[in-house]
Amino acid sequence: MGLDFAGKEWATYIPIATSLGLGIYVVWQAMRPKIGLVNPDIEKDQDKVVNSMDVEDIGDKIAFCRCWRSKKFPLCDGSHVAHNKKTGDNVGPLCLKRKNSA
């Protein structure tokens, strides 16, 4: 005994199919990774992460993290190497160097 979709009987299955489809979509949305999320865990209790530093405190050179994985954030600790290998990304630090004054 199979399902008979003759006449208007098929219409009774539309709400069930719609509910099932919506349920699958909601679960899929909840489980998929957050696309576009750059900062995985640094100062997540803040509305916006802002760091500042006096130029005089920089010294001759400094490297700032741009991958958001550094344990020394906002300074680079080389975490981008593992991030790039894992994701295929190509991010690296922002390096500043003082010119020799001669």
Residue 3 pLDDT: 58
Residue 10 pLDDT: 67
Per-residue model confidence as pLDDT tens for the chain (102 residues): 555 556 567 677 777 888 888 888 888 777 766 567 789 899 999 999 999 999 888 889 999 999 999 999 999 999 999 999 999 999 999 999 988 755
Closest CA to 61 of 22, 96, 34: 96
Residue 1 pLDDT: 52
Q: Which of 8, 34, 44, 48 is catalytic?
A: 48
User: The whole model's pTM is what?
Assistant: 0.61
Instruction: Answer for the pair 66, 91: CB distance below 8 angstroms, yes or no.
Output: yes
Residue 15 pLDDT: 79
Residue 34 pLDDT: 59
Strand positions, DSSP E, 1-102? 61-64, 94-97
72 is catalytic: no
Residues 6+ apart with CB under 8 A from 89: 67, 83
